[in-house]
Structure 1
Amino acid sequence: MHPALPLAGGSSRSPLSRRLLAGLLPLALLALPLSAPAQQTDDDLPVAEIQTFAEVFERIKRAYVEEIDDGELLRNAMRGMLSELDPHSAYLDADEFESLRESTQGEFGGIGIEVGMENGQLTVITPIDDTPASRAGLEARDQILRIDETPTEGLSLQEAVDLMRGDPGSEITLTILRQGESSPREVSLTRENIRTESVKSELLAPGYGYLRISQFQTRTGDQVAEHLRRLERDGALDGLVLDLRNNPGGVLQAAVAVADAFLDEGLIVYTEGRLADTAMRFSATPDTPAPEVPLVVLINGGSASAAEIVAGALQDQRRGVVMGTESFGKGSVQQIMPLGNGEGLKLTTALYFTPGGRSIQAQGIAPDVQVVRGRVEVTENGRGVREADLEGHLGARGAPRESAEQSERLREDYQLGEALNLLKALNVVRQRDR
């Protein structure tokens, strides 16, 4: 075995180490009060720790098995400093900063998946609608064990995202482990240039609308208002399902605009942090496209951040019934701070609170009506003979029945079917109360 390298003494510091100390120590000394009390205050720079940092930097530069660039080493130090704060704070190099900008604008390259770290394991938060990830059947809480041939253990979140990005048309294989399954599976996907429309709508039945928000982008609030107008072209709605399942969140202002579409007064969300400018309150305005339509909000474990703000506001204001399963519980606010040269910081600066004062962070939104995911199965002999089964029966008159395609969709999506049933029941009660 090779002998251990001796500890560096004061005279053996590298020029870089000396430059670091020369720059950092005067700053630390300037921060100390003139009387130099024994008790260090919160504003003092920790001189001993800065000296230790410079020593560690020097030892890595001198003894690491491969030569490493000074700039790369410092960027890695900044990444580590931020990654140890919480899962959502991060140092963003120029590429990462641009990638974040693209995702909030609704266009980016890759497979269309939102991921995070859960107990140190790369985990799917949600696949984005109409992307390779959603078409391949990836689900919230799937653990990603490998990206092509690279194990994800030990990778940072950004390193994993970088591996999953690539040129449109290129192939990628993910090895995933799903909850409740004993062995992993491989999923092959083809990367695409992801352009996402965050809002979709349709009529589930005459008078009953469906509004799906896949994520909260800059223009989501305007898109929701437009889709509500489309749904009401054939008459006023008797009910609406707002689907926020597997919505990873996004822009705060977009969440406020969506909640405002259904509320004509009252608080929507407020934030609290250490700095005065992080304490914000957002309230509804009287100009509201759909202030009275009966509303059911669908959430699940993939509903996070901005989606939880909307669900929490509508729940606390008793504006709609929240149905599904408990949401993700991401209730922290990140500010994007440019650093120059196209780089930036994503730093957690505050926490979200619902109008009723509930913290979303690590708590999530509990549904008013819990309905787990499922599928309605109809057996061959599941019902008796009906008139419509008899040969030569007379056709129905009046309004047509729901299409077979639509009925099949409701059978495939049990939660959606239950939401529609609840809206119909609410409408019956409203009519009786008139």
Structure 2
Amino acid sequence: MPKIRTFIIGCGMTKFEIPGTRENFDYPDMAKEAVTKALKDAKIDYKEVKQATVGFVYGESCSGQRALYQIGMTGIPIYNVNNNCSTGGTALILAKQLIETGQSDCILALGFEKMKRGPLTFKWNDRAIPLDKHFKKMSEIGGKHAGPPVPQLFGNAGEEHMRKYGSKPEHFAKIAYKNHKHSVNNPNAQFGNEYTLEQIQNSQHIYRMLTKLQCCPTSDGSACCIVANEDFVRKHKLESQAVEIVAMEMCTEFETSFSENSSMKLIGYDMTKAAAKKVFAQTNYKPQDVDVVELHDCFSVNELINYEALGLCPEGKAHEMIDRNDNTYGGKYVINPSGGLLAKGHPLAATGLAQCAELCWQLRGEADKRQVQNCKLALQHNLGLGGAVVVSLYRLGFPEANKAKSKL
């Protein structure tokens, strides 16, 4: 049986905002805004959607149904998805798989989050928390320290990279400097402010080399992508905007996350490396063919070490890549043109779908002032501790149709 090609035909998102910024902006309102924009972008009616995968991390059961009822109540299957910070990517890969079964020709993937300000906390105290093994191993490797534990996981990984490969605190700060600078051109970003490198380094100290401006914020927001097969694309004459999902893989953690006393592996280095390897093995591409990347920079450390895990540079050479400016406009790759999680914001379940939307707009040539020139191949990395990672590769599905449209 020939492989069923899958395409993103429409994208939409809200502006990511400081929690509580918009009064009476509950998650059904966020979802309605994102879905309405995606349907308009796809030029289709909600009645064309056959199934929906809906992601959220903080919420009650069946929030996915409640989120979509304001769009329509058409009886379609709605799958509620929760995979921590990789929830958006998980909703998207599930939609892709449902298309590939041949049972549906158009599926909506949605993510939303209504969050509280401040560090993330765990709701239940009468059962094992999903990260208990991570925190135990973290203590074994680096000891216990005061303050929120998640920044400690990433700060320890940064320390390991510095010890092993010679990176310095300024390299992590340079990533935050770059991403905040990129966000200035993104109207959907929570923070559209440019900071000097000194301001990044001198902002509130959080843990180890991490300062406040090197840590992503909590956010309210929603994002939506609509996935379809080739017959649907051609039937609705959407070739000029259809972005093909070339390959997409999810990996969860390996024993090495806990057996090798590595803080880098504890935050998902091995699963990212494995997922990326699987993605590129399915294609004729290699990492060096990529033009633009949306990478899960929940902390500046995570962006740096995943340059290496994704194969964008050799192991131990990420800081050299940063020194060459090969992660921004004018360099080898443009990484996080949206501003990334650090500046665009991180409403947990919406992040993966917002990353996809950004890459679709880049490939379609619709990213305005942040447009990456001659962009042909895009890579996405969406990570959730506990843990899962989704790595995806995108290109225009019908580049000649897109080229003809751009000439009009």
TM-score class, shorter: under 0.3
- Bigger Rg, which one: 1
More helix by share: 2
Structure of greater relative contact order (alpha carbons < 8 Å, 6+ residues apart): 2
TM-score by length of 1: 0.23
